[in-house]
Each structure stands twice: as structure tokens, then as C-alpha cells.
Structure 1
């Protein structure tokens, strides 16, 4: 591995112009393509072999007019009823404008006989029911905004209030991550400037990370027109891609500056940095990619899509770190340390700063104390995870000025809280059957049902749709109980002996199925990620004990992050500090995604720390001294890298979407604990206590493992390929 990367580093330095031009052409092509096509994300939840998906498939096949569902454009009168002449004319104008839009298949107005049920009892609140001629996943944000403007403008001009809700409102409100990414970049600039003491050295990781991130996000935008990518996907990819992009460059630049301080020529130092720290980057990057791609084991398309898009951002950041970065460093040469801060020493000390060396000795000389302190921090934070309950995204937690939230509140006021989370019962009935009459009556009598609409039949008369409005809100446990009650009791009893078949679906039921699927899949995902990470680290460090220890340490930091999510979001403690009005459900796919992401990212710091420890151990130091030396030489750069990652992740708490807030806070907490408590206290103390057992590897296993380790021991090659090493 190191020899191959050494050649890659030499090629990038000797042909830096070609490498830079190639990257520039790729980035320009990707950005141009994304700009032309526009952003398109999916709001669909497809879950094969679930009740909600069966309902969707049945309607798509035999009742396509109802398969796409509808989105409400909610209207509130400020003067009289909606049926008054002035208000009714404005609503008619909005209806006409919508019908002219190529995306719209049908519009039902609350002021018409067909839409009488869409008008509140007092006549002051109603909604236009808008059905599109395509899946919302095929609608770009720009198209959704145009449609929203066409409908709301005549209504607002007449002095009424209008807000687009449902899935269409979600597309209209879809956020970009520009602000959060900007805050993360600003924080990274400050941290890198203090770490390197040079404005030029600081700029290199920033430039390469932004370059790779822009390329990755553009590629993801283009892929959104081919595959269903959820709206959270690009935000999550930005969060991860920016963090790892800066971190990977930071580790390599630090190693290169050590080489320059030791008197090496720039090109030789770059090649050595790519062969050593670059090898650690590749192993760490592939660990993250493997963890993210392992999400496919859950068999949840929306989760798989988020995992793949995030993995793509990591892959591009990793490739940029070992190709684009050395070309940029070669272009700078000795000017890398230019524009120095007057009070900072720029030269890198391979042995680390005296303060970190003193800290490392204190930890390793008192390992039992360090171990106890670590567990006293991590275990109490992880304890609340025992009570973690998974839920669905809660529109009620969005900012009050979001159109989706305004529509949500108006519908709840006019029609009741359950109107925001309707269930659909798709029924396949034999012709001339009276099964629907009993089914409608039994559903209406079911505890928790506010209203069940009369069945709508398709033209062939063999499929019908009943819309069910619960008495409780979409994210309430009572609504989840209603879904189970309808599926397990009401529907089977009503249709027994009739030959009819029915499925309970809709977005709310889809999220219930999603939570169930995740609960079933999470143990398998954890086992698979741990196994694959174990095998990768086994090859990297040629030790059986170190990968097992790394897996346990990562589980502790992930568990602590889960505990914090439970405290803040599920119980609402401190929710106001992050812009929430109170407790909200922990979205079902967040823990699943977080596990894969955090397990992979935790391995980043494990690989960089262990690679330095292994380097000193291979150089002849015993385990105690190797741990002291490895921690002293890597702690400063690991904490700097983690600080950047924490701020990048933490900045996404500023986003309006509660789901993004959960990702941001959870991952920021996990990375902070992992880089401080786990890597600087727990791992060193355990390695000192375990002594030579850390390096245990059976002889038979050593013989069959592929020779792909980090090979950081001894002197790396410093000559061009084909010549004798210096």
C-alpha cells in the first residue's frame, strides 16, 4: 500500500500541471451539469414488502390517479368566509393558474361541490387539493417554488393567507447547507491557522476540501435525476464531505511539514507524506465508505441512498487528498510555510509538543485512573439510550415561518391534528361485492379515527381508496397504535370471508413501517459494520486485538451520542438552546445512519493514532514508550482535526430541519468524545495495560493476510520510483 501511494505521490508532484488540470476539468464539468439540471430530491419512502408499500403499489397499478397522492395549499380568510364572492374569485384564479402548470394533473377547490369536505366548519379555512402528474421525487425545488407562487399570489393579493403543505411544501422549503458549511469553513480556517501558524499552510486543506466537496455535491445533484435521493442526502453529504476533506488534508500536510523541517526536498517529503499519512487516509476513508455502504443491508432505499451519497463525498475527498493535494503542495514548494503568524513557531516537531508529551506520559503512567475517568464520562451519557424510541419527522417542530409549518398549523386548527397525517386504505375488491360498506363503517367506529371518507373506486371498480384521518397528530404514539389496530384488527375482521384484500398505507404509515424495519435491521447492520471494520484493521495493523478494541471503543462513543440525542430531543432537555420549542421524536433513520457514519469516522482517528504508535513500536520501543510517543506526536493534530469536525457538524444544528439538527448534534458530540475521551484517555490506557497482547497475531493468520498494511515503520522511500531510497 505505502509503496503504491509513494508512486502516486511522486507522479502527482512531477506532473502537477496535468493533475491540477484534470481535477479542474472534472469539477467544472460536474458543476456545469448540476447547474443545468437543477436540484431534484425525493420525498418518497419506498419499503418493499411492507403494508404501506403494498398500498402504494396497488394504487399505482390499478388506480394511478390516486397513487401520487395530493398536497394541500391551505387558505385562511381574514375577512369573511372563503365562499364569499371576493374570496371565491381569488381561489378560482389560483385554481386556474395551477391547472395551467404542466406539473399539475388535477386541482380540487374548497369552494366547489366536489371539494366541500375541504372547507372547515366555520368556512374560514380550506385547502386546494393539488395532485401532480408525476412523483414528487421528479420535481425540482425551482419547479415547486414556481408552482407555489402561481397558487399563492392571487390568494395573497386578495388579502388572504396561503401556505403550501404536505410533500410539495417540503420540496418548497428544502434547505441548502450553504450557511452551515460557511460557518464550518470559517471555524476550520481559524483552527488551521492556529495549528499551522501559516496562512498558506492553512489555506491548502481548505482549498482542496472545498474543491472536492463542490465536485461531490455536483455529482450527487446529477445523480438525483437518475436515482431517488432524499432531501437530507445532499446536506448530510456536505456535512461529512467537508469534515473528512479538511481532516484528511490536515493529516497529510502535517506529515509533509515534518519532512520539510527534517531537511527533505519538497517533492520527496510530499511522496513520503502520501506513502505514510496518505496510507492512513486511504484505510480510514475506506472504513467510512464500507460503513456507509453497509447501510444497504437494511433494505431501505431512502437510507441506502443517503449512505451512498455520503460515501461518494468521502471517496472524492479521499482521492483528492492523495492526488490533488500533493499537486498543490508541489506547486507551493517551500512557500508552504509563507505568511507566518509572528508569535507562532511554524516548524513541525515529529515528536509532538512538550505539553502533549507530558500529557501522554501522565496518561500512560496512570492507566487505571485514565480508564476510570473515561468510563465515568461515557457510561452515564450512554445510559439514556435504553429508553430511546424511534419516531418520524415532526412538521410541528419546523420554524413557524416555514410554509410547510404554516400549512400544518392551519390544517390542525381547521380540521384537527390528525388531518396532517392521513392514512390511506387501498382495497382490492371483487366486483359486485358489498365488502366496502362494512369496511367503511368499521373503520369509522375504530378508536382513534376522527373521520373516514367514503370509498373512491377506480374506473374498473375493482380497487377503492378510503382516506382515514386520525384524532392524533402524525408523530403521536396514538397514531402509530391506530395503524397497528387497523392492520391487525379492524380491516381483517371487516373483510373476513369477502375475498377482498386491503392495505393500510400513506406517509404516516410508511414511517411506522420504516421504524419497524430499522429496529429489525439495526443489529445486522452493527454486526456487519463491525466485521468489515475488523477485517480492514486486521490487514492494516496485523493484530487481532487492536481491531476488537477499536470496535468496542467506537461502540462506546456512538452509544454516548445516542444517549445525548435521547436526552435533548426525546426528553426535550436543552431543546430550546438549539432552536426547538420542545421535545421531538428521534427520527427512525437517524440512529441507523449515525451508527454507520460515526463508526467509520471514529476509525479515522483510531487509524491515525495507532499508525503512529505502531511506527514507534516497529522502531524498537516497548508498548508503554510507543504509546507515549505515538500519542504525543499525534494528539495535537487529532484534536485539531476533531475540532474542525465538531464545528462543521455542530454548525448544522442551525438548520431549520429537526432531522438535520439531530444529525449535527449527535455527530458533533460523538466526534468530540471520540477524539478526547476515547483516543486520548481510553485507548492509550488500555494499550498500556494490555502491553504486548496488543500486537498478538497467530502465525497462520499472518501468513495468509494480504501484504497491504500501513507499513509506517522505519524510513519511507524518499526517492523517485526506480531509484535507490535515500
Structure 2
């Protein structure tokens, strides 16, 4: 009998040392199960308490050191947080006698709100009162960080605009206040993803207990993840999208990892192994694969550190924390909980077992006569046909990516139900499409300006005003030392339009004697982000590929296996890019996702998707190949090992993929278009990966390569030595 802990990874990891180490950890967790469970509960409780006491602030401002937009942000003299309260009149003007008094009362009310330091009423001179007088906004400055602008504070500001509402005007939040209110949504997407995962687990693991354990371990690891990220938000800027993506990744991999381990445990327990030994066998086999899969995801995310883009670096380490907790909970907490469940988990419910057997017979049985056995036989008998068909299908799915166009999202890209979109629609209709995305044009003077009429400042403002595409230029604001002057420039196009990006470059190219011109603002920062990401893209992709291949080479000791796995994952990512282009650029079904039409794809989304999907897709590659390699080590028959590996893993990998797809699709209902893109791209990539790539292309390729698949330099030397001895 095989030693406990040895399994599919054994021959690939220094004669099973890694598998034995993981199995030893699991046995220790079983022996001290109450200590392990208690420790997890204490750690999670401590993290939650810390997050509750210190808060979990988020900051959506884009920081990009070394860029023009960051320089403007650092030099600009503005309150820590500013936002607007929009006021519209059903008829007439806002500045008539009665309404003018209502606006004055509203301004006084706004000044009394805690932390409000600046209130500027609507003014035609300031550019905050429309030409027809029916729409305007209060500019409000606060002495709190943008990260500390909570929903409660935003609503307190809106409640103080009651005098305007009492006068028959319509106040509504804009800019930072609208973002804070929109960001207050609940956990509907997480609950939906958990519900879908529970259904799959219920039928895959044969009962309610089998569904509860993965959900429990995943939930605890996710709570620990979000609390840790929230605490980190007190020390560094954490964008809202980072916590959402970490939740997506944490739920998906956490449940999947637990599913792989518990599936192996059920097989061992049904073979009449004692529960502790069955747990050790499961962790030695699938647990080792989990560890390697987690390392692969972490390595892929680590490549984003080379971008020198704080946003991507933050998304990488926050997602990495989610993967770390998922691996730790699978290797420690899950064995402890499984030992308590014992053989009840192996048996499952009678009714559920009957239903799951019926489903497996129809859709994914791993038995000798099941679907995956027949599929493995078909593919390996006609590998050219299966592989060719897969390549054609993948080419069709990837083809739209040739038209992948990157751009900038703005408030007009959000769903029509959100506060930011409603505010943008009102402002754009009254003032013009670029009003909601103003550019901050800053001039640095070598000597202080003499007065408001300094000729250098006058020429600076005149040059900005005469640039093509500038619809309006606001009044000049000077720093206390007179060396920095700024104006707000409104583009005639929306913030997401390429014409506004062109305007940013034209303004930066201005030559004004005695004035160094810089351009900042949200739109300019996004332009800088796109250029930084584009310049780093080849390096990041190359490093991620190299590191991932190195990890796979360490795991399997077979160069062709490692290279093939990397190529297969790139193919899955290509399908995701094709889906993004078809949906968000061409508009195929985009209204089904809650958007009103096609929207630009932010520059960082494809790169972040590449790192995430490369790591997540590699999970399934590791689990499949580990079993195939185990069979190869026993039989030395490549075709047989491929068939047996696909048969043994097809059902459980399909169930794991269904869970991950369900989790990702649940997040498509999020109001943030960026999250919709991540959810759509990741769901499509996993679906393609588990069906076309793992079900057709991988086994067909391995069948065509034959024994060459497992070639290693060491194996060649051993064969040469064997022939020499025989001679």
C-alpha cells in the first residue's frame, strides 16, 4: 500500500517530500483539531474586532508617482475632500429672488455640517451655474480624507440641503458624495455566489454536510481576508475594487480547494481507510496540489509588481492575501473540521446520493463507463480531430480580441440607476459632456506672481482657453506663495472620449514663457495610467510566463508539460479578451449586464485579468496533470495515463469550475462597470478552460506528444545509462 501522504504529486516533488510534509501537517491538525478550530476562530474574531475599531477605509483616488498628474495633485491647494451638491429647478432660474434666498439658506445649512470647511454656491463666474439658470451646484470642501468620506457623512451633507428641497428645487449628490452613496451597497453578490456554490457542492459531495464544510472554511478565510485588507486601508490607499476582486478570488479558490480535498477524502474513506489516514491521503494528494496551485496564483500576481503602478500592485497583494488564507484554511482548518464530520461526510444523504449519482451519470461521471471516460477515449483515439476542433473554436472565441480598444471609464459609463450616472446625466445635459471630468491645468512660476494681473498668468490662461476642445476655463486659483496657479479646464467631450485624452497631451505641450504647464485631474491620471501600463505590459507578461513555467517545472520535472501548461493558459486568457471586446466594445448583450451601451475598457483590466486568469487556470492544470503523472509513473503508458487522469478528474474539475463560474457571474450584477468586466472575463475564461482546453486540447496535445510529454534531462541520462549497462 502507498504510504499515507504520497499521491499524484509524489514523484514530481522530490520523492514525495512535499506530499509527506503536507500530510504531516494535516495529521497534526487532526490530532489537535479543537486547538486548530479555536485558533482560527480567535484569529478571525481578532481581525474583525480590529477592523471594527479602526475602520476599513477605501480610497479610489489614483496615485501614480512620477507622472504629470501626480505632480499636479501634490502641488494643488485643495481641501482633502471635495464634492458637489447639484440643484435643479423644474422651471425658471435658480438665481431669481425667491430661489436665490433658498440657495443662501442651503449654503448656510451646508456650512453647519460637521467637517465641512468650504461651501461655494452656484455661480456663472465659477462655471457652476448653467446658462439657462435651471441647473447649478454647490462646491463643498471637507477636512476629512477621501477614504473617510462614508455614506453617513455624504447623506448628512444631502440632508442639510433640505432648504432647497422645501423651495421646490431638486438637490442630488454629485462627484465624491454620489460615489460614497453608491458604494454603500450590501453583500448581495457574495450571497448569490455562495448560494450557487452550495447547490453544486450539495450534489457533488453528496449532502448538506459536504456543502457546509467548504462554505464554512471559505467564509472564515474570506472574513479574515477582508478584515486584513480593511485594516491595511488605515496605512495605505485601498480602492474599493480591490476588496471586491479579493472577494471574488477568495470565494472561488477557497471553495474549489476545499472541494478537491474533500472529493479525495471521500474516495479514501469509502475504501475503508480510517478517517485520520483518509484525511492524510487526501491532503497528501490534493492538498499538495492545492499548495502548488496557490503558489502559481501568487507568482502570477507578483508579476504585477513590475508595473510600478500602485493600483495594480494593490490589486495584486490584496488578491494574494485572499489566496493565502484560502490555502491556509484548506491545509489546516479543513482537516480539523473533516475529522469531526468523519464518515458521515463520506456517506452523504441517501436522497442526495441518488440525485448526485443520477446527475453524474448524465453530465460528468468519473466512473469507468461515465461521460469523462468516454470523452477521454474519444479524444485520445482521434487527437488530431479533437485538437484541431478545439483550436478552431478557440480561434473564433479569441478573434474579437483583435479589436480590443482601451479607454477611460467616466461617470457616464455607470448604470443609469446609480447616483454618479444620474448626476453626470444632469450635468452633461446642462453644461456639456466634459463638465463632470474637469482637467486641472497647473502653472509653476519661477518667481511669485506680482498680482492678479500678472502678464505670465494672463498669457497662461489665454493659451489654455484658446486650445481646441476646451469648452470652458474657470477662474484662477493661486497658492499662498504665488508660485503656483491653477485653472479648471472643461473639455467639449466626455472624460472617457479619446478627444479628451488628446486634449490632455495638447495642454501639456503648451509653451508659455515663464510658466511650466502641467495637467492633472482624474481623466489625466487615467491617461497616465494607460501609458504606464502599456509600457510595462510586455515585461509583466514575460515575467509571469517565466515564473509560472519555473513553478510548474519544479512541480512536474517535465519541461514540455510546463511549457504546454503555460500555452494553454494563454489560450484561455485570449478567450476572455475576446469576450470583453464582444460585450463591452461591440455591445453584444451589454444591456443584459445593466449597462446602457458599450463602454471603454480601462487599460489595467486586461493586464490584471492576465495575471488572475493565468494563475486560476493553472489550478485546474495542476490538478489534472498531477493525476495524469501519477498514472504515468505507475504504467509508463502515456495514452492510458491521459485517459485515466481525465476520467478521474473530469467530474470534480467540472464541479469546481461551475462553482467558480457561478461566483464570478454573481459579481456581474455589481454597479461598477469594472467589476462587471472582471466577472464576465473570468467566468468566460474558466468556462472555456474547463471545457475546450482541459476537455479537448490538453488531452489531445498530450496524446500527440506521446512519451515525449514526460521527457526530462534526468530521464534521458537514466535511459542512456540503462542501455550502457545492458550492452
TM-score scaled to structure 2, two decimals?
0.91
Matched with 2:291 is 282
Which of the numbers 221, 240, 257 marks the counterpart of 1:212?
221
Matched with 2:393 is 377
Matched with 2:28 is 11
5 Å matches for 1:585-604? 585-604=600-619
Relative distance call for 1:144 and 1:571 in structure 2 (3 A) is: same
What's the offset of the Cα at 1:360? 0.8
5 Å matches for 1:156-555? 156-176=165-185, 178-336=187-345, 337-340=347-350, 341=352, 343-344=354-355, 354-429=370-445, 430-431=447-448, 432=450, 434-488=455-509, 491=510, 493=511, 495=512, 498-555=513-570
In structure 2, distance between residues paired with 1:565 and 1:338: 41
What's the offset of the Cα at 1:157? 3.8
**Conservation of the 8 A alpha-carbon contact between 1:39 and 1:140:** no
Relative distance call for 1:308 and 1:499 in structure 2 (3 A) is: same
Q: Provide, for residues 207-247 of structure 1, a one-character-per-residue CA deviation record: whole Å limited to 9, x for no partner.
A: 11112112211221221122101111111111110011110
**Conservation of the 8 A alpha-carbon contact between 1:352 and 1:634:** no
Which of the numbers 72, 92, 95 marks the counterpart of 2:84?
72
In structure 2, distance between residues paired with 1:90 and 1:307: 49
In structure 1, distance between residues paired with 2:561 and 2:50: 45
1:563 equivalent to 2:563? Answer no
Matched with 2:5 is none
Matched with 1:46 is 63
**Conservation of the 8 A alpha-carbon contact between 2:254 and 2:323:** yes
Relative distance call for 1:284 and 1:177 in structure 2 (3 A) is: farther
Higher mean displacement: 391-400 or 597-606: 391-400
Relative distance call for 1:203 and 1:48 in structure 2 (3 A) is: same
**Conservation of the 8 A alpha-carbon contact between 2:25 and 2:332:** yes
**Conservation of the 8 A alpha-carbon contact between 1:352 and 1:636:** no
In structure 2, distance between residues paired with 1:44 and 1:379: 38
Q: Provide, for residues 26-59 of structure 1, a one-character-per-residue CA deviation record: whole Å limited to 9, x for no partner.
A: 1112222223334411111111121111211222
**Secondary structure of 2:354's aligned partner:** coil
Matched with 1:718 is none
Count of residues paired in the alignment = 689
Which of the numbers 616, 624, 643 marks the counterpart of 1:628?
643
**Conservation of the 8 A alpha-carbon contact between 2:416 and 2:595:** no
Relative distance call for 1:613 and 1:131 in structure 2 (3 A) is: same
1:2 equivalent to 2:19? Answer yes
**Conservation of the 8 A alpha-carbon contact between 2:90 and 2:169:** yes
1:24 equivalent to 2:36? Answer no
In structure 1, distance between residues paired with 2:390 and 2:136: 57
**Secondary structure of 1:44's aligned partner:** coil
Matched with 1:105 is 117
Relative distance call for 1:468 and 1:116 in structure 2 (3 A) is: closer
Relative distance call for 1:292 and 1:422 in structure 2 (3 A) is: same
Matched with 2:142 is 132
Which of the numbers 156, 164, 169 marks the counterpart of 1:155?
164
Higher mean displacement: 679-688 or 287-296: 287-296
What's the offset of the Cα at 1:700? 10
In structure 2, distance between residues paired with 1:552 and 1:145: 51
What's the offset of the Cα at 1:520? 0.9
Matched with 2:95 is 83
**Secondary structure of 2:435's aligned partner:** helix
**Secondary structure of 1:420's aligned partner:** strand
Q: Provide, for residues 403-425 of structure 1, a one-character-per-residue CA deviation record: whole Å limited to 9, x for no partner.
A: 21121111112211110111111
In structure 1, distance between residues paired with 2:696 and 2:254: 26
In structure 2, distance between residues paired with 1:333 and 1:142: 48
Q: Provide, for residues 459-486 of structure 1, a one-character-per-residue CA deviation record: whole Å limited to 9, x for no partner.
A: 2111100111000000011111111121
What's the offset of the Cα at 1:186? 1.0
In structure 2, distance between residues paired with 1:152 and 1:221: 32
Relative distance call for 1:593 and 1:353 in structure 2 (3 A) is: farther
Relative distance call for 1:45 and 1:249 in structure 2 (3 A) is: same
In structure 2, distance between residues paired with 1:364 and 1:223: 50
**Secondary structure of 2:599's aligned partner:** coil
**Conservation of the 8 A alpha-carbon contact between 1:56 and 1:67:** no
**Conservation of the 8 A alpha-carbon contact between 1:198 and 1:346:** no
CA RMSD between the two structures:
2.1
In structure 1, distance between residues paired with 2:279 and 2:218: 18
Matched with 1:713 is none
What's the offset of the Cα at 1:294? 2.0
In structure 2, distance between residues paired with 1:315 and 1:679: 25
What's the offset of the Cα at 1:350? 7.8
In structure 2, distance between residues paired with 1:346 and 1:212: 31
Q: Provide, for residues 172-219 of structure 1, a one-character-per-residue CA deviation record: whole Å limited to 9, x for no partner.
A: 211546111111111111111221222211221111111211221122
Structure 2 unaligned blocks of 5 or more? 1-17, 719-727
**Conservation of the 8 A alpha-carbon contact between 2:81 and 2:144:** no
In structure 2, distance between residues paired with 1:242 and 1:152: 41
TM-score scaled to structure 1, two decimals?
0.91
What's the offset of the Cα at 1:143? 3.2
**Conservation of the 8 A alpha-carbon contact between 1:177 and 1:238:** no
Higher mean displacement: 414-423 or 350-359: 350-359
Matched with 1:716 is none
**Conservation of the 8 A alpha-carbon contact between 2:196 and 2:659:** yes
Higher mean displacement: 555-564 or 77-86: 77-86
**Conservation of the 8 A alpha-carbon contact between 1:351 and 1:629:** no
**Conservation of the 8 A alpha-carbon contact between 1:43 and 1:167:** no
What's the offset of the Cα at 1:158? 3.4
